[in-house]
Structure 1
Amino acid sequence: MLDTVKPVKARRPRARMLLLLGPAFVAAIAYVDPGNVAANLTSGASYGYLLVWVLVAANIMAMLVQYQSAKLGVVTGKSLPEHLGERFKTTSRRLFWVQAELVAMATDLAEVVGGAIALYLLFQIPLPLGGLLVGIVSMILLSVQNRHGQRSFESVIEFLLVIITIGFLTGLVLSPPDPAGVAGGLMPRFAGTDSVLLAAGMLGATVMPHAIYLHSQLAKDRHTDARNTPERLRRILKATRLDVVLALILAGAVNIGMLLLAASTLGGVAGTDSIEGAHAAIVENLGTVVGVVFAVGLLASGLASTSVGAYAGATIMNGLLKVRIPLQARRVISLIPALVLLSVGVDPTWALVVSQVVLSFGIPFALIPLLRLTASKKVMGEHRDRLPLRAAALLSVVLIVALNALLLWLTATGQA
């Protein structure tokens, strides 16, 4: 009898650990938004497996910084924007908020446009109307968080993440990548200035500034408790590491899978420099069913990521300006730029790729303060970053800033 009880007891800590998971999967939605779709499909269709290494490196960086963001929220009980709001003087705080808000707007633009494209592919709904419908549905999703709390919101987002994964990876079953090509794509290199622009866009689409701000808030809201003891805090941090690793492995697999699908299916096919063209090529090469599944995944990506993006924007505003507005009201305001672009006929795929480049320039503004805070013993106490982690984080910052500087120089000299 005793032998039958022991396994049950052994499983209880694991069950409790699983109950602590969730915040990272919400943040991970930012890593599989429509901007990723545009950047990854364009990369795979144009350069084959060349830039696989960019996604692998970016995903490793993402794991590092998302864990640090979550750890900051768990240990201090404050989000990254709240910490910055306390440390900056009024003018600096407002200027910092402006650049963070621009990044959030670029994010929202990509997500609404991507959802609108999906509705057009599925139902031939005009892009402006599709963007409006995406905004309305995202308001409904945000109401789940307002009325039923974070856990219910996490469950909805995780369900959409499953749909996204199925939608974007189904095609690989019918069109598997070339193993030798994938292996070659792991070697860091470029092929001209256009590939540098794409790499910056892929980096901006993978290491998302607004996700760095948001994750600290999500972890804070879920795990901050006056009853936390040092032992319980260590258990929460252990669960947080697992949460981040699992969520980012899934998001990374989706991103790399999209690039591999484009490389194996869309290479050399005319018109695949747009999502609509890529979708048409997928339908032609893999069939209507795969095309529909892909479009459904894109729609789920747009709906989930725009909801999370609005949540992140509210977190940034509240932390830096101490201004709190209803999520639905913010959703309406941030929807306007995307609807304007869709209405004036701007190429949606181009807008998606450019929005991701804008995001890449916002990364250092979020990452550098985060690394300084998590390395501070005064802020983090015994949970401050150890030297190897600080070194890895510093290397990530240097690589990101260097790539952005290269992109800026190429643009200024007319080579990009």
Structure 2
Amino acid sequence: MYSPGHRPRVGAGWALLGPAFVASVAYVDPGNVAANLTAGSRYGYALVWVLAGASLMAMLIQYQSAKLGLVTGRTLPQVMRAKLEGKPWRGVVSAGYGVQAFVIAVATDVAEVVGGALALHLMFGTPLWLGGVIVGVVSVVLLWALRTHGERTFELAITAVLAIICAGFLGALWWAPPDWRATTAGLVPSVPDADAWPLVAAMLGATVMPHAIYLHSALAIDRHRRDGRLDIPLRRLLRIQKADVLLALLLAGSVNIGMLLLAAAALRGEAGDTIEAAFATISDRVGSVPALVFAIGLLASGVGSAVVGTHAGSRILKDMIGMPIAPTVRRVITIGPAVLLLTLGVAPTQVLVWSQVVLSFGVALAAAPLADFTGDRRLMGEFVDPVWKRVLNWTIVGTIVALNLVMVHWTLTQ
């Protein structure tokens, strides 16, 4: 509830931005790098439409998550838990959602840790397994340090990381300019061949991140409704959230498309590990400085998304099944698979791409209940979604499920 006697902390709308920029870091993690570079190197500009469409989906979904949190004062997992109260199958569903959330957390952590480790390997020759441990430890320390200094400090620091990521990947396009006519043609939906389907799923899973959907409601509450009261009228705050999401995800979407364009322009036909090939190609054809800028962007994406992912995983498990798990403990548990894969010598880019395919199956499990809740007048009151938005929300969910079914069919027929 808005309290007229409770003066706003800040008056300018720009100063109220922030939660979406934290969530958007998850949209430019190393999994995105691997999926987008692989798509560009294999198929050129043909799959630009996937990133454009997924970015538009993400804008709506992330706003809906923030809206749910601000209107109800509860996070998406908390609303899900409350909806199950009194149901005889509550325990099974809660446990099931908790397990899938944990699997999603592991898949997310694998991408973040592997990507950060690969960046350290490219820049300093650090063994991949050691780089994974370093990224895991640094992410926990950074999360603790930033969260202890308040929500705004956390937002500003993560936004600074996002700026470094943007400079790293979009900056590389200065030296490898894309074919803009081919880019425009790539906005027309087409799938070059059957083997492109895993990449389409990976790009979707990397662009619309399940844990970011769950987390955004919590970020909005922590920033604007931490004590249960709103500092400014809800309608104005929701308008600000729209601008927050639009700006943050427009930036993240541009970075993702920039990754694909970089690969299409500089890596088409290159063999081997795509990320390592990108680094080597930029270094050979352009110079060591642009290659270093690229590697710094990759490292920032790994560390930044690891910080956000650690926070998201802990919050999801706490709100969904009432089991508080310290971020340090969750990171120690989930970092294991990533370090193990690196120790076994599995190709980093392959790990990154398939981790995003796993994530694509978690998107609908987050987006479907969100669409249900924001369309429930008993829950949202006057802020319930209009009919056209409910149709759009469920169309997005249906599209995601259809893609997942195509992936299952592709897997079974190979």
Q: TM-score range by the shorter chain?
A: over 0.9
1:356-391 deviation line (CA, Å, top 9, x unaligned): 000001111101000000000111111111122112
The residue number in structure 1 matching 2:170 is 169
Aligned to 1:142: 143
User: What TM-score do the two structures reach when normalised by structure 1?
Assistant: 0.94
Partner of 2:324, secondary structure, is coil
* Structure 2 match to 1:234: 235
In the superposition, relative to structure 1, how do residues 133 and 13 fare at CA in structure 2: closer, same or farther (>3 Å)?
closer
Q: Residue 27 of structure 1 corresponds to which residue in structure 2?
A: 23
**Runs of 4 or more off by more than 3 Å in structure 1?**
12-15
SS at match of 2:148: helix
Match of residue 201 from structure 2: 200
Q: Distance in 1 between matches of 2:181 and 2:151?
A: 44
CA deviation profile, 1:280-307 (whole Å, cap 9, x unmatched): 1121222211100000000000000011
> Separation in 2 of the partners of 1:45 and 1:95?
38
Match of 2:123 in 1: 122
Q: What residue is the counterpart of 1:334 in the other structure?
A: 334
Per the alignment, residue 4 of structure 2 pairs with none
1:270 paired with 2:266, answer no
CA distance in structure 2 between the aligned counterparts of 1:94 and 1:309, rounded to whole angstroms: 20
The SS at the match of 1:346 is coil
Task: Please name the residue that 1:41 is paired with.
Answer: 37
Q: Which amino acid aligns with 2:141?
A: I
Alignment equivalent of 2:60, drawn from 53, 59, 64: 64
> Which residue identity does 1:174 align to in structure 2?
W
Shift of 1:87: 2.2
Mapped to 2, the partners of 1:340 and 1:124 lie a distance apart of: 19
Equivalent residue number for residue 132 of structure 2: 131
Aligned counterpart in structure 2 of residue 85 of structure 1, from 81, 87, 91: 81
TM-score, length-normalised on structure 2?
0.94
Q: In structure 2, what residue type is equivalent to 1:57?
A: G
Give the equivalent residue in structure 2 for 1:367: 367
Residue 214 of structure 1 corresponds to which residue in structure 2?
215
Q: Is the 8 A contact 1:44 1:261 kept in 2?
A: yes
Residue of structure 1 equivalent to 2:322: 322
Distance apart, 1:14 and its partner CA: 9.8
- 1: distance between equivalents of 2:242 and 2:215? 16
> Does the aligned pair in 2 maintain the 1:141–1:153 contact within 8 Å?
no
Deviates more, 1:318-327 or 1:243-252: 318-327
Partner Cα distance (1:227, 1:25) in 2 = 23
Residue aligning to 2:297:
297
**Deviation string, structure 1 residues 209-242 (Cα, Å, up to 9, x no partner):** 000000011111111154438x711111111111
Partner of residue 349, structure 1? 349
Q: CA deviation at 1:128?
A: 0.5
2:210·2:366 contact (CA, 8 Å) conserved in 1? yes
> Residues 279 and 90 (structure 1 numbering): CA distance in 2 closer, same or farther, change over 3 Å?
same
CA distance in 2 between partners of 1:24 and 1:98 (Å): 26
Mapping of 1:94-133 within 5 angstroms?
A: 94-133=95-134
1: CA distance, partners of 2:282 / 2:137: 29
Distance 1:264 1:13, change over 3 A: farther
Between the aligned partners of 1:228 and 1:302, the Cα distance in structure 2 is 34
Query: Structure 2 counterpart of 1:18, which letter?
Result: W
Q: How many residue pairs get matched?
A: 401
Q: CA deviation at 1:318?
A: 0.6
Deviation at 1:325, TM superposition (A): 2.2
Contact 1:142 1:328 in 2 (8 A): no
- Residue identity in the other structure for 2:230: N
1:306-352 deviations in whole A, cap 9, x for unaligned? 11111110111111111112222222222112111111111111010
Q: Percent identity?
A: 52
- Amino acid of the residue matched to residue 43 of structure 1? A
Unaligned runs of 5+ in 2: 1-7, 85-89
Cα drift, residue 202 of structure 1 = 0.2
Q: How far, CA to CA, are the matches of 1:404 and 1:43 in structure 2?
A: 18
Describe the shift of the 1:288–1:401 C-alpha distance in structure 2 as closer, same or farther (beyond 3 A): same
Amino acid in structure 2 at the alignment position of 1:307? V
Which letter maps to 2:271? Answer: A
- 1:74 aligned onto 2:70: yes
Please provide the CA RMSD for this pair. Answer: 1.5
* Structure 1 residue 177 displacement after superposition: 1.0
**What SS class does the counterpart of residue 181 from structure 1 fall into?**
helix
User: What runs of 5+ residues in structure 1 fail to find an aligned partner?
Assistant: 1-11
1: CA distance between counterparts of 2:25 and 2:11?
24
Q: CA deviation at 1:248?
A: 0.2
Q: 2:194, 2:300 → 1: CA distance?
A: 33
Q: Aligned equivalents of 1:132 and 1:100: distance in 2? A: 23
**Contact persistence 1:144–1:152 (CA under 8 A):** no
Secondary structure of 2:362's counterpart equals helix
TM-aligned CA deviation for residue 123 of structure 1: 0.3
Is the CA contact (8 Å cut-off) linking 1:134 and 1:303 kept in structure 2?
A: yes
8 Å contact kept, 2:73–2:228: no
Moved more, 252-261 or 274-283: 274-283
Q: Which moved more, 1:165-174 or 1:114-123?
A: 165-174
Structure 1 residues 373-416: Cα deviation after superposition (integer angstroms, max 9, x where no partner): 000011111111112211221221111111111111011011xx
